[in-house]
Amino acid sequence: MTISSLAQCLEGASNFIGDQTFLVFNDLTMTFSEFDARASQLANVFAAHGVKAGDVVGLYLPSRPELAFGYWACQKLGAISAPISSMNRSREVSSTVSRTGMKLILGNEETLPFALEVRRDSGQPETILMTGGTAEGAMNVDALIAAADPVCPAPSFATDDVAALFFTSGTTGAPKGAIQTQLGQHSVLRDMAVHGRLLWGQEVFLCALPLFNNFGATCLMNGAVCSGAKLVLMERWDTEKVLEAITREKVTYIAGSPTMFLYLLRDFDPERHDLSSLKLGVTGGAPVSSNVVQQFEEKMGVPLLEIYGATETTGFVTGEPLIGVRKRGSAGVPLGGSQIRILDEAGADLPVGEVGEVCISGDALGAGYWGDPETTAASFTPNGWLSGDLGHLDEDGYLFIVDRKKDVIISGGFNIYPLEVEDLLYSHADIRVCAVIGLPDKDKGEIPVAVVIPHDGHDLDGAAIIAFCREKLSAYKSPRRVFTVADMPLGPTGKILKRTLRDWYGQGQGKLIEVPS
């Protein structure tokens, strides 16, 4: 199969279905041709300010159309799109700018003060453009776009050209710049379309994930372009607005974290919301409880498939089959040319059913970490990329994720996998959201504790929850204590941040409230 670059995908969509709607955001609607022209105009603005193929361009914006324009403008030049979370502040941005030698930053009123502070302190980036207004120290990009040529043909490319650079969220340490190539993008988007049985030019994607995150940018924005789909973009997650958008826009495809589907499950009202257009939901970014999947499918009547992947693999590389055998608790089988192996600490393959580190290889794999050869060599091995996730394969090649290596609780010499306990807790009548973490214990090293949020109108009984677990799990796996919180700390994609929960306990600021038992 001949591969296409991202720029060629957009050019093709514009040529074939240019009059079809591509982007919907609040009151803004753009066709593929209009979006292509806007990206071309911005690409020509970037080029006029010295950006060329291989240069890193910072897209320091909220999850709005302007970030999408910037991402695709980079593709038209062969430049490297580097989305930066609009929640980041000057210290975080300074690290990204200095590590990449960033040529230019595109920001807005919200992020501009921090971008200017970075340039004042470091002299980089050379150029700062601002959308949505004017300010001293930055050029008004909107005026420049209006005067720019709306044509910028797709450049020639090599399969190993860098398409995008995402700095990971840092839930396991300092952020690392994951390098994504044109080949990786092509492979993931092709495999995603086949997995979802997507129909060219007929799908409607909903994206309530941030575009400065790989899940939102690659799997949804890029996936929509390369499938000729309409993209309904939301700046941030709002459950009621998501349900209204699915109803109004006749959304067919939605992707998100398990927490997002929990919220949909909680707030869906068949009297007000019509999900009959929805053909498929996929969930990843964190292990998902099979009880949540079952509840969602029974209530919504929509398949919810667990997927597995990472920024380092460009997108998802395994998925439960939409047609065929699904196995409860599984993240499915490898997609396309991706290969999954389970390795022990020495890097040797483990037999079927044994838990070890998930190792991924294939065309979807990225090219390492930007400017970090040591970490790249440690993670991107001859066997493939070492994910840091623990899992096992069954006799049919289905992948079961057990947990993150760093989330495993070691209590008195026993390994406890939080996902197993969380899966049980989600079947408890009083519990809406939960997370299981390890807390220090002088005798056992760590003990498992449950952090839960009840369903509206339900009371929590710590002793009853612990007893519920002990009836169905080994005593050492069962939570010793139960806490509640007003809201779970979430990452940009809705993933529960367990490290933050542990920090809250250590800080003793009253955010974790113990449920009497």
Distance between CA 315 and CA 313 in Å, rounded? 5
Given a cut of 50, the residues of the chain with pLDDT beneath it are 170-172
User: What amino acid occupies position 502?
Assistant: R
Q: What is the pLDDT of residue 50?
A: 96
Q: HSE on the CB side for 469, CA within 13 Å?
A: 27
Q: What is the pLDDT of residue 415?
A: 78
Q: What is the pLDDT of residue 444?
A: 82
Q: What is the pLDDT of residue 57?
A: 98
> What would the DSSP string read from start to end of 176-207?
-EEEEEHHHHHHHHHHHHHHTTPPTTT-EEEE
Distance between CA 282 and CA 307 in Å, rounded? 7
230-233 β-sheet, strand order: 28-31, 21-25, 230-233, 204-207, 253-256, 280-283, 304-309, 316-319, 333-334
Q: What is the pLDDT of residue 174?
A: 65
Q: What is the pLDDT of residue 172?
A: 45
List, for residues 219-267, the tens digit of each pLDDT value: 999 999 999 999 999 999 999 999 999 999 999 999 998 889 988 998 9
> What would the DSSP string read from start to end of 403-416?
EEGGG-EEETTEEE
* CATH architecture type of domain 189-405: 3-Layer(aba) Sandwich (3.40)
Neighbours of 138 (CB within 10 A): 22
Asked whether the domain spanning 189-405 has the same topology as the one spanning 32-157, the reply is yes
Q: What is the pLDDT of residue 169?
A: 55
Q: 């800080």: which residue's tokens?
A: 507
List, for residues 201-222, the tens digit of each pLDDT value: 999 999 999 999 999 999 999 9
Q: What is the pLDDT of residue 1?
A: 65
List, for residues 267-296, the tens digit of each pLDDT value: 999 999 999 999 999 998 777 788 889 999
Q: What is the pLDDT of residue 171?
A: 43
Distance between CA 69 and CA 35 in Å, rounded? 8
Domain 32-157 has CATH 2.40.220.10: no
Q: What is the pLDDT of residue 510?
A: 81
The residue ranges of every structural domain in the chain are: 32-157, 189-405, 408-514
Correct CATH for 408-514 of 3.30.300.30, 1.10.1040.10, 3.40.50.300, 2.40.50.100: 3.30.300.30
